[in-house]
Each structure stands twice: as C-alpha cells, then as structure tokens.
Structure 1
C-alpha cells in the first residue's frame, strides 16, 4: 500500500517486531457493541496477515481501525415525530421539550444496537527511527500515536522539528529559483502573507520561477506549501508543518515493486521500497533544514 500522504515522528527507541505485535494484541479492534457509537483498535494491516504487524525486512506495518455506527439525524427526527404525533393524538396533550429529549434518547437506545456501521483505517509504519503515518491530518496522526502509546505502555515519539523551518526553507528555494539537494521545484505552491487578513495565493500547474510568482515572495509572502520532485522517484507537496501531501510515486519506483505473483510478495516489496524512499526524503529534508532539533 503506497501512502498518499504522510505525517512523521522521530522514534529514538523504536520497538521490536515481537514487542509491537504483543502490544497491539492487547488492543485489537472490536465492533462497537450495545449502546457504543464507535470503537477503535488495531486490525490486520494486510488482508492476508496472520498477525497485527506486517514485518517487511524490519519495516513494521500496522493499522488502526475505527468502526462507527451510522444513525442519521433525519431518521431519529422522523421516529421522534412519530412518537410525538401518537402521544398527542391518543392523549390529547402537547409534548414538551424535555419529553421530546427523553423520547429521542429512548429511540437512539433502541436503534443503536441494530444500526449499520462504517469503518475507516489509519495505517502506520515503523521504519528505523521513523514512525510514518498515512495521513497529513495532525489530529488523525496524534490519535494513532495515542493508541500506540497506550498499547505499548509508553513510546518516546517526537514531532519532526528542524533548526530551519520548512516555511523558511521553501521560501528560500523559491527565491533562489531551485531547490536544494536531490529535490527539484514542482509546479504548485501556496503563498501566504502576514496579518489578520493575510493574502493567500495558490499556484497550480505553473512554473514556480516565473517573475510574478517570485514577486509575491519578494513582497512579503511566505511559502506554506510547495510541490517537489525527489530524484525522479517521488512527487509530493511539502507543507509548513512538515507533512507530505499528494504523494505520487513515479514509474521508476513503482515498477521496482512489481515482483512476485502473489499479494504478499507485492505488499512486501511495496512496503520496503516505500519506507526506504520516504525515510530518505525525510532524512534529506531534515539535513537541508539544518538538522533535527531536540531529538534525544
């Protein structure tokens, strides 16, 4: 499974495969029961997995699953109104607000155990000293990390912070007309100014070295997002908080994963190649931004 977006944490002391498997087994996913609206827990990372950790050459894949009950508000309102109409018709009285609330809760309690559910997954991967999470959403990433810490009884994980901010680094690259290291400028960017009514300029499918684009930055706007190409293997958007969005794995990389005839071989190759590429990208970005800050 190729991650399309990424939040990353530094792991000074990553857990072993055996320790991680044992920890996740204490917090497996279970369907929400009774009057529970949802439940979250760790699920099989691959359809063919026989455990909660998919170990591909030391890259440890896992998944947090959320299953929640679907009970549309319109359905609840309709059932409440039916009860209200019945009471007012049969008892010739008006149903007050408090009684309506009580009827609503009774209906929810009756329907909830029998309603349908929907599920979502957040995938994670431990590769070396990196925790890679398949989301650019900070709350989703923190939720997975919280569940992981609870299962392990604690985990030292730190946000990716560098001596130079990504915003400063990207702004410098745009002014220079080229990116550093193994990176090349892409064709998209988001520029934002300061102040309460900060101007915002979105550039898409355009040359970032154009004079009018550079002029925005010279006039005080900073780069908050920038499309980048890495070694002709990855295209992605780097954000100001060091998340990666819209990751596109170019053919030269995906073709390397097309080995073997079965799903397990493909998943193994995909996970190892993806982990190697993403961790190299993070390592190089951190180095170009002056190195990691505050990591023990």
Structure 2
C-alpha cells in the first residue's frame, strides 16, 4: 500500500454500495492505448494482489483509475514533417505550401502514433465518512476520476467542498496571528500573493512563519495561497487556497504503527490502508472545522453522514 502524497477532496452526499460499485467498475476495465488513440483510461485493482476494482473494509473503500497517454513530442513530428517536405521539394522541384504541410503533419502523426511510447499514470482514491479523497494534486485529473465514477454508477453525487471560511482568508488570518487552530501548527513554508491582477508573489521555505517578515507581507495586502501545516504531530502537508492537500508526509509514528500489523503483503496492505484512511479522514474533518464548517447546502442535517456506513469486506480470497 502506497501512502497518499496528495489529496483532492469531494463531498459525498450518499456513500455508494461497495458491491454495486465493484460490479459497475468491473464493466469499465482499463484497456491499453491502441492504434490512433492518444489516451486510454479505465479501472484496475488497487493493488497487485487484488482482483476486484474495489477494496473495501471497515466502511472504507479504495479504487484506482489507470490512464495511459501516448508520448509523441511535437519536435519529433516536426522533424519527420521537415524530412518529408524536403524529400517532396527535391523530387518534384516545387515548394510545399502551408495547407499541404498541415496535411503532411496529420499523415505523419497518424503514422507515428501507433508506435509512440505510452506513459501510464494512476489516480487512487478512497471513500469513507462522506468524503472522496483522490491522490492527486491536479484538479483536472481528480475531476476526470469523478466523471468516470459517474459514468460507471450514475449519478454518483460528489461535489467539491465549500467551507464557511475560504481557505485563503483562514490561512492569512493564521499567519497574522502566528498560530494555527486546534491540533494544527504552522510549518516552515508558504506562498503569499498580492490580490491585484498582476500582484507580486512571495514564496518562503524553511522560515519561521511567525516572523515579522511574514507579518509585513500580510500588512501590505498579500494573502496566503499555500501554507505548510502539521496536524497532530502526525501528518505534514501544504494546504492550498483551493482546499487541496499537497506534499503530504506521513511522519514516522504512523508508518511504524502500520508496519506492526504483520509481515505478509495482504495484512500490511490492509493495515496501512485503514490507518491512512482513518487518519486522513480525521485530518479533513478537523480542517473543515477550522474553516468554519461546510456551507449549509453541504452540511444540512441528513445530507451527509460523517460516520462510515458498514460495507462488506471485498478482497482476494
């Protein structure tokens, strides 16, 4: 089990049934890029020792979307087109025009694409406690994962969370006060940006965020768009103004705890997943609370359960 490095959050208004979801994703498996396809994506088992596309235990689920992109650099296409143009001009003693050159580019692309290198990438995601958490710092890739879930099991009601206090305002206030709320503490890195259209941006790293230098930047109107935080002395991460968690570092105490679950692959995988999903879920709930809670439309009574619903365990026999 690989610990998540990033977290893009979605609020689930209804937890999907693990068995139904597994059956739906199994109908949309990953297929490698073929022929003239630029990319291909589909669902795979979350780990090599698993067979089903959904791993579920203790009310937590794990899925994995695999994407394959053809790598065909523009420079390679341009070089091939230039060689073909030179051959035509030398053989036919004429100048190749712009329209013909564009047609040659399409021809070259179609010739090269089936032989192009395919680059794979995965986006794992866990679901628990009313949250979908995707292990990616890319908003488009996270949205693509949710779209594929909706295709497999419509309507799949997941939405970006909206908090009472926007992250940029809260992070700036925390820096101005010299401390973060609750179990959070300021780390040593931040990005501050002027609010004007072409405002200056200041990046600081390995610096005391309670220093006068930081307060001076805030006094001149800059706001925090990214802030390094440590939660409960267990998880270090960067919070962004879009409510993403990036550069997550799981401090030693958690990894030591997971490693004590057993020596075999299956036991270690399950223990790591449970520990990671529970800790990450608690962090997200604490973070939302620090941001004043969710907006009423996402936090109305009965809209979202913050207690994981019981689900069957699904793993390889």
TM-score where L is the length of structure 1: 0.94
1:36 aligned counterpart, secondary structure? coil
Q: In the TM superposition, what is the alpha-carbon distance from 1:214 to its structure 2 partner?
A: 1.7
- For structure 2, the residue ranges without an aligned partner over 5 or more in a row are 304-317
- C-alpha change, 1:252 and 1:85, in structure 2 (3 Å) is same
The whole-number CA distance in structure 1 between the counterparts of 2:250 and 2:210 is: 24
- The number of residue pairs the alignment matches comes to 296
Partner of 1:14: 15
Partner of 1:122: 123
Partner of 1:239: 240
Partner of 2:312: none
Q: In the TM superposition, what is the alpha-carbon distance from 1:105 to its structure 2 partner?
A: 2.1
Partner of 1:93: 94
Alignment of 1:12-161 (within 5 A): 12-161=13-162
- Of 245-254 and 281-290, the range deviating more from structure 2: 281-290
Q: In the TM superposition, what is the alpha-carbon distance from 1:128 to its structure 2 partner?
A: 2.2
Higher relative contact order (CA 8 A, sep 6+): 2
- Of 46-55 and 78-87, the range deviating more from structure 2: 78-87
- C-alpha change, 1:130 and 1:105, in structure 2 (3 Å) is same
Tell me which of 271, 274, 278 is aligned to 1:272.
274
Quote the RMSD (CA, aligned, Å): 1.7
Partner of 2:6: 5
Q: In the TM superposition, what is the alpha-carbon distance from 1:113 to its structure 2 partner?
A: 2.2
- C-alpha change, 1:91 and 1:218, in structure 2 (3 Å) is closer
- Of 66-75 and 182-191, the range deviating more from structure 2: 66-75
- C-alpha change, 1:221 and 1:104, in structure 2 (3 Å) is closer
Residues 203-251 of structure 1, C-alpha deviations (whole Å, 9 max, x = no match): 2111111122222223322222211111111111111111111111111
Alignment of 1:177-256 (within 5 A): 177-256=178-257
2:165 aligned counterpart, secondary structure? coil
The whole-number CA distance in structure 1 between the counterparts of 2:116 and 2:243 is: 40
- Contact 1:228–1:235 (8 Å) recurs in 2: yes
Q: In the TM superposition, what is the alpha-carbon distance from 1:173 to its structure 2 partner?
A: 1.7
